Amino acid sequence: MSEILERPRNADVQDRFDPETDRVIAQPSVAPKRRGYGGALFGASALLLLAGSLALGGWRHYQGRLEVAATGQESRTLVPDVRVATVRAGASKINVTLPATTTAFEAANIFARTNGYIEKRYVDIGDRVKAGALLADITAPELDHQIVQAKATLTQDQATLQQTQASQELAQVTNARDSKLVTQGWLTLQQGDNDRLTLRAQQAAVAVAQSNIAAQEAAIRVLEQEKAYQRVVAPFDGVITQRNIDNGSLVTSGSTFMFTLMHPNVIRTQVFVPQDEAFGLGPGVDAVVRVPEIPDRTFPGKVTRIASALQPGSRTLLTEIDVPNPDGALSPGIYCTVELFIPRKTPSMIIPADAVVFDENGLHVAVVENGVAHMQKITIARDFGKEVEVHDGVKPGDQVILNPMVNLAEGSRVAVRKTQTS
């Protein structure tokens, strides 16, 4: 048993147990014989598979090149269908809507023209008055005293004039008498000179007295005018919009602001028109005024006056529209919008916004002419959303491509699929 355990095993033998002898018998291991053509068959199969794969890859590459060539040829010969729109001429008038402000046709700030106290105030804010209506009375007792004093001085000056005139007449008679005696030698030449110069002095005194009377009469007229200013009257028909005095208020000539009077029967609407729309604007252009708070009513009017120059900062033209307001529906100082119908001075074209292309070359459109697309640069004047107004690049009747393809180039052939007029 120990002998069997000590024997090394051999890869070519196989042990077998003998039950009769109770011993393990070592027997040689017989390996099965391998067929000689198995490896060659496997190698041939691998080579065949590799060759098939290479052939398949080459065939697919060839087919891909054919498809690329066919696609390129198709793109060179393909004439795409495009939708176009016809360019139309712009309207003969431009409709422009701009924000505006209403003002009174006439407005006057009434100041005190004399010193004194308000004796009686007759009007208040919101009152409608007629031209010449009494607004307030100013009392100034010292002005009455000044007038009395000035008239007394005038009376004194008139008496002085009468006195000097009498002296002048006496000097004239004396000079006439003595001049003959001087000629005859009965009086000296000195006496003749005295009489002549005395007459001239009396004539000058009369002129001075007359000048004093004229000056005093002018001073009285000034005082009487100030007296007239104690009655504060309305210069025109209108509405009192401000009041800054009350009974007993002290007023000073030229500095106390008393009332504001506005004429509301005609509303003057001021609007600033941008430069690109100001050309063609002038008196007589139709306008419509709208107030957001009165949505169911419009107020027609006409441009009455425009400024001769644009505002340097905003490049806008001050424009005024007179709007009749007999029922007082409009008030001065409100916000409104003005729609102007301005005659067009330069031609313009209208095209759909879908036809405009913006890229590195700027703004342009694709115009179809005889089945060929031509890229035309344009200048947009106004954007209306779905449509734009342009000044150049196209002309009325041209057909522009809507939503042109990205790869559409100058000179590409296209087929018009559908024409729609915008």
Tens digits of residue pLDDT in 141-162? 888 899 999 999 999 999 999 9
Give the domain ranges of the chain.
81-90+348-421, 141-229, 264-343
Annotation: CATH topology of 81-90+348-421: 2.40.420
pLDDT less than 50: residues of the chain: 1-13, 29-31, 33, 421-422
- pLDDT at residue number 418: 56
Q: Are 99 and 335 in contact (CB under 8 A)?
A: yes
What number of other Cβ atoms are within 10 A of residue 303's Cβ?
23
Q: Rounded CA gap, 206 and 163, in Å?
A: 9
Per-residue tokens: 145: 């005293």
Q: How many residues does the chain have?
A: 422
Q: Are 280 and 94 in contact (CB under 8 A)?
A: yes
Prediction pTM value? 0.55
- pLDDT at residue number 380: 86
Q: Rounded CA gap, 194 and 321, in Å?
A: 77
Which residue shows structure tokens 């095993």?
Answer: 9
Q: Are 264 and 332 in contact (CB under 8 A)?
A: yes
What number of other Cβ atoms are within 10 A of residue 62's Cβ?
10
CATH value of 264-343 in 3.90.25.10, 3.40.50.300, 3.40.50.2300, 2.40.30.170: 2.40.30.170
Across 160-181, b (16+ Cβ under 10 Å) vs e yields: bbeebbebbeebeebbeebeee
- pLDDT at residue number 111: 95
- pLDDT at residue number 206: 92
Backbone angles phi, psi at 280, to 5 degrees: 100, -10
**268 closest CA partner among 331, 198, 225:** 331
Per-residue tokens: 3: 């002998």
Tens digits of residue pLDDT in 288-329? 999 999 999 999 999 999 998 888 889 999 999 999 998 888
* Contacts with 337 (C-beta within 8 Å, 6 or more apart), sequence order: 97, 98, 99, 100, 289, 290, 292
**C-alpha dihedral over 5, 11, 13, 18, to 10 degrees?**
40
- pLDDT at residue number 91: 75
> Per DSSP, which regions of 167-315 are E strands?
231-233, 238-243, 250-251, 257-274, 286-291, 294-306
Amino acid identity of residue 50, one-letter, is: L
Q: How far is CA 51 from CA 45, 48, 180, 249, 352, in A?
A: 10, 5, 167, 120, 61
- pLDDT at residue number 9: 47
> Per DSSP, which regions of 122-244 are E strands?
128-129, 134-139, 231-233, 238-243
Tens digits of residue pLDDT in 48-88? 777 777 777 777 777 777 776 656 555 555 678 888 888 88
* Contacts with 35 (C-beta within 8 Å, 6 or more apart), sequence order: none
Q: Rounded CA gap, 421 and 86, in Å?
A: 5
Helix (H, G, I), strand (E, B) or coil at 177: helix
Q: Rounded CA gap, 220 and 226, in Å?
A: 10
- pLDDT at residue number 70: 59
Q: How far is CA 244 from CA 57, 109, 122, 239, 400, in A?
A: 102, 11, 13, 15, 67
Which residue shows structure tokens 């023209």?
Answer: 113
Q: Rounded CA gap, 14 and 25, in Å?
A: 9
Per the DSSP assignment, residues forming a β-bridge with 81 are 415
CA gyration radius, the chain: 58
